[in-house]
């Protein structure tokens, strides 16, 4: 099946620094990529939707200047958490949607655990 990778798988940073997380679709071109955040024992919360070459669409309550999303190509999207604070510590998951075998399917990455000290 299609594979979506994320890098890094975990990161620990100091408060005030910025962290970049990459999401790649490895064997298909993703027309749309999504970024989710998940707190312990809670559901995945959609943060934003990004299409290649255009600005991301953010969900209500998500600060676009805090969570910068760049969808540079059909296989790569990045999420940058700027000036990270301890409350940004969470599990960030990306997903990629594209046409595979004639069907528009969605695949999720393995997630990135961010810990802000």
Report the interface residues with another protein, using CB under 8 A: 4, 6, 32, 34, 42-44, 46, 49, 57, 91, 93, 95, 97, 104-111, 113
Cα–Cα dist 9/50, whole Å: 21
User: Which of the 8 DSSP states describes residue 8?
Assistant: -
Residue closer to another protein by CB (options 82, 108) is 108
Closest approach of Cβ 73 to another protein, in Å?
Answer: 19
Residue closer to another protein by CB (options 82, 91) is 91
Cα–Cα dist 23/110, whole Å: 10
What one-character-per-residue DSSP string does 63-90 give?
-TTTEEEEEEETTEEEEEE-S--GGG-E
User: Which of the 8 DSSP states describes residue 7?
Assistant: E
Residue closer to another protein by CB (options 48, 116) is 48
Closest approach of Cβ 57 to another protein, in Å?
Answer: 8
Region of 20 on the Ramachandran plot (φ > 0 left; ψ -120 to 50 alpha; else beta): beta
Closest approach of Cβ 16 to another protein, in Å?
Answer: 26
Closest approach of Cβ 83 to another protein, in Å?
Answer: 26
Residue closer to another protein by CB (options 19, 93) is 93
């Amino acid at each position: 099946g299609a594979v979506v990778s994320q890098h890094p798988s975990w990161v620990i940073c100091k408060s005030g620094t910025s962290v970049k997380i990459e999401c790649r679709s490895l064997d298909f071109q993703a027309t749309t990529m999504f970024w989710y955040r998940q707190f312990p024992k809670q559901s995945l919360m959609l943060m934003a939707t990004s299409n290649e070459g255009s600005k991301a669409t953010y969900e209500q309550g998500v600060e676009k200047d805090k969570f910068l999303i760049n969808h540079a190509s059909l296989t790569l999207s990045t999420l940058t958490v700027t000036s990270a604070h301890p409350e940004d510590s969470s599990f960030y998951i990306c997903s990629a949607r594209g046409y595979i075998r004639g069907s528009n399917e969605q695949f999720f990455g393995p997630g990135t655990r961010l810990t802000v000290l």
